[in-house]
Structure 1
Amino acid sequence: MRRLPPQLVSQIAAGEVVERPAAVVKELLENSLDAGATRITIEVEQGGVRLIRVRDDGGGIAPAQLALALARHATSKIASFEDLQQVVSLGFRGEALPSIASVSRLTLTSRVAGQDSGWRMGGDGGDVFSEPVPAPHPLGTTVEARELFFNVPARRKFLRGERTEFGHIEEGVRRLALSRFAVGFHLWHNQRAVLRLEPALDREAGARRLAELCGREFGAASVWVDRGETGLRLTGWLGLPAVSRAQPDLQYFFVNGRPVRDRIMAHAVRQAYRDILYQDRQPAVVLYLDIDPDRVDVNAHPAKHEVRFRDSSLVHEFIRRAVQATLAEIRPGTAPRPIVQAGERWRPAGGSGGGPVSAERWELRQPGLPLRVDEQMAVYGRMHSSSGPEPAPADPAPVADAERPPLGYALGQLHGCYVLAENADGLVVVDMHAAHERILYERLKRLQAENALKTQTLLVPVTLTVGPRERQLVEEHGALFAQSGLEVAILGPETLAVRQVPVLLVDTDIAGMVRDMLADLAVHETSDRLEDANQALLASLACHGAIRANRPLNLLEMNALLRDMERTDRGGQCNHGRPTWTQLTLDELDRLFRRGR
């Protein structure tokens, strides 16, 4: 047995931290942000393999500390285990610069306030660096890494093409730019400007940055969430179903200002969107979670991509409820939640979160989908609750636009499937079955919540064979099963018995549901299987009870449907994620008929 040479130790560490050029850029940008930079320029050549240069205007590194900055496990950000538990900086391990230096030709140049010039030192892929020498440089730091992996050819062979590698770099810059609105980011590739993001110090500038990084459609069709409880606060933007995606490629999560890829947060968001998205569409979100540093471990991954929550179930449930409640408030005629609260200011460069900015005006519009309604319709009036609001008059008197309800007043039916209505903006088209389905679904959910969960003891308990880990999960999460209306008993080392279930789920595959719950608990430490199954049954009841096609409705019944839609949570989509209505504005109608041209 022998001690490994320092260079090999650094190259092993580099394998954990610097797996590709994007990782180099990420580590250098995090150092710049921790140094208080307000402007950062990133220059890349050949996807980062030939050159990565990051220049900032931060506090800089004193000449006497340049050599220490290139030493392994040297950091100014933590000094004790207590500091490690309270980490608020992006970097803290002290491994980035020496790891990068071990697999590239690195030059470090920096100048601090009060110095007449900067100082420079560098290395050539070994564990020996040149002595610091004076060099002209403005206040701040420049790190230049050339010929990445020149001395580790096996690693270089695993890199993808130039375009792919630069794509990873650009995505990393986008994530950090969303975490620090007050910092300017300029990204160049092969001497061509790719991103020019000036510091966003007000709402208008912030809206421009959000639109540039996430697309104008997302900026225009997203709502602001700001909710807090039990020491947790969630802020950010929730994309409406109109901007949902086929893949989860527009989901950005930040914990105390740190960009993360967290399955707990992603799963909670997906659950919150589950009954308003069409089929397998994925939500688009930019979310910032603020949490006491004591309640999160940021030292869970060498590259700091992941975090570990002390109580992941609590975090999961908080995020799910916060997102779900915000989405439920979106109704026809409502605008996004206030973006900037009274007295709230932009967060400084070193703060967490993205800072509040305004989105464009949310228009009364739902996305179009190539779906047909071929159900048969019964009269809506039969399904309308007698305790509901009074319907509008069949032939309402002319009213000013400001007095019109958001969905206006009905004009008539089209092909027995759609209600045509006139509102202040123009023409509203409503899918009657989809709209009534959502109304009934939300009504059934509310009634069930008010009556509490009814359970039934099984005459013959359902038994299932499990392994040691599944048995342990039942012991650890017994309270969750009880809250869900399930009584699960442990009969032996490998046998469980389900003795009680919710009434609505008596005729379902109980054993399969329990196994699915255990699988969820193993991965997410929480499970919504019972709630999913229960809501699926309510959705089925609502679908079968909703009005169907080809039976005429009178104006009284149509207007009652419109008023109910305006009062119903998540009224813009049916239970399957289909849009319930869309808007054609007068301007759009004028363009169709070339009026005024």
Structure 2
Amino acid sequence: MNIHLLPETLINQIAAGEVIERPASAAKELIENAIDAGASRIEIATAGGGKALLRVTDNGAGMDERDLALAVQRHCTSKIATHLDDIRTLGFRGEALPSIGSVAKLTITSRPPGAATGASVTVAGGSVSDVRPAPANPGTVVEVRDLFYATPARLKFLKTERAEAGAITEIVKRMAIAFPAIRFVLSGTDRQTLEFPATGADRLARIAQVLGEDFRDNAIEIDAEREGVSLTGHAGLPTFNRGNSAHQYAFVNGRPVADKLIMSALRAAYAETIPQGRYPVAVLSLALDPALVDVNVHPAKSDVRFRDPGLIRGLIIGAIREALQREGDRASTRGASHMLSSFRPGFSPRHTAPAQRWAPAASPSRPLDFVTAAPLRQNSFDGLSEPSARMEPGEAPAPAPAAKTEEAQAFPLGAARAQVHENYIVAQTADGLVIVDQHAAHERLVFEALRKGLADRRVPSQALLIPEIVDLPEEDCDRLMDHAEEFDRMGLAIERFGPGAIAVRETPAMLGETDATGLVRQLADEIAEWDAAATLGGKLDYVAATMACHGSVRSGRRLRPEEMNALLRQMEATPGSGQCNHGRPTYIELKLADIERLFGRA
């Protein structure tokens, strides 16, 4: 078997298999080139999901005849010179255009500003034409037709035209968020025209163009810095969540990335605040010294590798949790809109029995469904203990002095006015009303108290009668022992047991009977991947959440007015009280203007 040099066309096709996986990959590379060229307007046109046609037009710096001839040759680029530790552009490998030209019919027409005429070059299946003069506007037009016609096997792996068109749309959205000063227009025979006008420095306005205007009202600003790494962006309220992760965007030095470390940190930051199967909405931008991040991990440049992944993970989790504690307890505006859509003006006698139209008077056998608010004062809710006082059937509600009620209305959650169906507290605020789920709200308060207890002292542990020996690779044992002190604080006591084993002597008492071997192996796997041992803490939080659920005010429990008001004040003082431990909202706010609109008064 003799070693020989592959033909240039085959080399380019092999490179294309890594760089150009689908039409969206080609679109990403061409849009990045346009941005690097300084374009302020980029137009993308497609047909057949990008397989039949993909055209990218920009008003950037353009290329002359010499540049065009080099642009279609491999490893020719204007973006780097001698090293890879100071990359400040989106593209730098010099592979995109020759890779596309090796598997498709590529035409590039360009004209630098100030030049009298433009020029054009064509590449078809790896065959390069001469550069010729051509009429052109200032900027560049790159047209790709019949993608993968030279490698038909690749066509079989593509999805439907609709799916491929959707993938290109997603690429444009990510680029639009990253560069709000650029106007993007996406059009074609396979789609409706999508336009993102430039918003300049107003990044939130651009994000609202992509994610919807309701994100603006449900977003919390993120701005943090640690050891030279800055994190900016916006994170949605926990109750403003979605059914998939498609609305999570991450950028590193302006580059859109799909990085597992960032997405994992985002999930961890929202732990215990979002229901299982739901995903937060967030746009996060990291800025750091290019020497501290490797963007050359993969030819597609969507993966990055940080020199200090622990710093990045800690910064993201800490910044988002701090922001959620600061203002994450406010209710999502979608809750009010959903409630408004559920209201129906008036009622139909045909569907409502006369006896059900009016509430019966209070009697020993049937208490009133509504309780009048009472003066605000502290009571058995102090310390988050189970309330002892309750209203017995037939007991008269306490009257509320007007001055005290007006004073309570000045609080964010207002003054308790009623309890509906022995589960929902209705409170009046200065400009509307609030409906609180009493069980969900108190459950969150108890959980936060328990979690604070875990942070203030070593978690109680239970000693194993016989230490459990867990066999692991030596490198996993080394990683676990590096975190032994942290585990001990959480009630997990481990020791080295020879070069390839760990002895588990104590486990957290809150976990009860637990699979110590499985827990240690899971911790080892997690540390190996992210060097972050969050699994044990997550388990303890889950146990704390379960205890809180069983130790909270139950649904169907009649509360005194002062108890309801005390609950509202505790919620206002507790970070994260806007959602329960399972991520559901604890209250919904309805503005007076919304109520008036329901009755046609606004």
Check 1:331–1:403 CA distance in 2 against 1; reply closer, same or farther (3 A cut). Answer: farther
- Name the CA distance, whole Å, in 2 between partners of 1:417 and 1:405: 21
Q: 8 Å contact 1:367–1:579 — kept in the other structure?
A: no
Check 1:483–1:87 CA distance in 2 against 1; reply closer, same or farther (3 A cut). Answer: farther
* Counterpart mapping for 1:553-572 below 5 A: 553-572=559-578
What's the offset of the Cα at 1:564? 0.8
- Name the CA distance, whole Å, in 2 between partners of 1:102 and 1:222: 45
Q: Which amino acid counterpart does residue 177 of structure 2 have in structure 1?
A: L
Check 1:553–1:366 CA distance in 2 against 1; reply closer, same or farther (3 A cut). Answer: farther
Q: Which amino acid counterpart does residue 312 of structure 1 have in structure 2?
A: P
1:540 aligns with 2:538: no
What's the offset of the Cα at 1:530? 1.4
- Name the CA distance, whole Å, in 2 between partners of 1:386 and 1:278: 24
Aligned to 2:20: 18
TM-score of the aligned structures, taking structure 2 as reference length: 0.85
* Counterpart mapping for 1:60-79 below 5 A: 60-79=62-81
Q: 8 Å contact 1:366–1:582 — kept in the other structure?
A: no
Q: 8 Å contact 2:442–2:567 — kept in the other structure?
A: yes
TM-score of the aligned structures, taking structure 1 as reference length: 0.86
Q: Which amino acid counterpart does residue 601 of structure 2 have in structure 1?
A: G
What's the offset of the Cα at 1:158? 2.0
Check 1:163–1:383 CA distance in 2 against 1; reply closer, same or farther (3 A cut). Answer: same
For residues 196-247 of structure 1, what are the alpha-carbon distances to aligned partners after superposition, in whole Å with 9 as ceiling and x for unaligned?
11211254xx555323311233333221111111122111111123331222
Check 1:10–1:479 CA distance in 2 against 1; reply closer, same or farther (3 A cut). Answer: farther
Q: 8 Å contact 2:329–2:576 — kept in the other structure?
A: no
1:426 aligns with 2:432: yes
Q: 8 Å contact 1:393–1:556 — kept in the other structure?
A: no
Structure 2 stretches lacking a partner, 5+ long? 340-377, 386-397
Q: Which amino acid counterpart does residue 228 of structure 1 have in structure 2?
A: E
- Name the CA distance, whole Å, in 1 between partners of 2:400 and 2:384: 18
- Aligned-CA RMSD value: 2.8
Aligned to 1:470: 476
* Identity across the alignment (%): 43
Check 1:192–1:272 CA distance in 2 against 1; reply closer, same or farther (3 A cut). Answer: closer
Name the stretch that deviates more: 23-32 or 426-435: 426-435
- Name the CA distance, whole Å, in 1 between partners of 2:299 and 2:131: 29
For residues 513-570 of structure 1, what are the alpha-carbon distances to aligned partners after superposition, in whole Å with 9 as ceiling and x for unaligned?
2122112223322221111122122222322221224443222221111111111100
Aligned to 1:587: 593
What's the offset of the Cα at 1:184? 0.7
Aligned to 2:411: 405
Q: Secondary structure at the match of 1:85?
A: coil
What's the offset of the Cα at 1:290? 1.3
Q: Tell me which of 267, 274, 285 is aligned to 1:288.
A: 285
What's the offset of the Cα at 1:591? 4.2
- Name the CA distance, whole Å, in 2 between partners of 1:23 and 1:230: 34
Check 1:12–1:364 CA distance in 2 against 1; reply closer, same or farther (3 A cut). Answer: closer
1:329 aligns with 2:335: no
What's the offset of the Cα at 1:435? 0.8
Aligned to 2:497: 491
Q: Secondary structure at the match of 1:47?
A: helix
What's the offset of the Cα at 1:402? 11
1:108 aligns with 2:108: yes
What's the offset of the Cα at 1:363? 8.5
Q: 8 Å contact 1:43–1:191 — kept in the other structure?
A: no
- Name the CA distance, whole Å, in 2 between partners of 1:19 and 1:131: 28
Q: 8 Å contact 1:39–1:57 — kept in the other structure?
A: yes
What's the offset of the Cα at 1:181? 0.3
Q: 8 Å contact 1:241–1:367 — kept in the other structure?
A: no
Q: Tell me which of 446, 450, 455 is aligned to 1:444.
A: 450
Aligned to 1:246: 243
* Counterpart mapping for 1:504-523 below 5 A: 504-505=510-511, 507-523=513-529
What's the offset of the Cα at 1:457? 5.7
Check 1:243–1:367 CA distance in 2 against 1; reply closer, same or farther (3 A cut). Answer: farther
* Counterpart mapping for 1:178-327 below 5 A: 178-190=177-189, 193-201=192-200, 203=202, 206-327=203-324
Point out the structure with max Rg over C-alpha. Answer: 2
What's the offset of the Cα at 1:99? 0.4
Aligned to 1:552: 558
Aligned to 1:358: none
Q: Secondary structure at the match of 1:223?
A: strand
Q: Which amino acid counterpart does residue 86 of structure 2 have in structure 1?
A: Q
Aligned to 1:118: 118
Structure 1 stretches lacking a partner, 5+ long? 335-360, 369-379
Q: 8 Å contact 2:79–2:92 — kept in the other structure?
A: yes
Q: 8 Å contact 2:222–2:232 — kept in the other structure?
A: yes
Q: Secondary structure at the match of 2:456?
A: helix
Q: Secondary structure at the match of 2:97?
A: helix
Q: Secondary structure at the match of 1:158?
A: coil
Aligned to 2:343: none
- Name the CA distance, whole Å, in 1 between partners of 2:284 and 2:123: 40
Q: 8 Å contact 2:239–2:583 — kept in the other structure?
A: no
Higher-RCO chain (CA-CA 8 Å, sequence separation at least 6)? 1
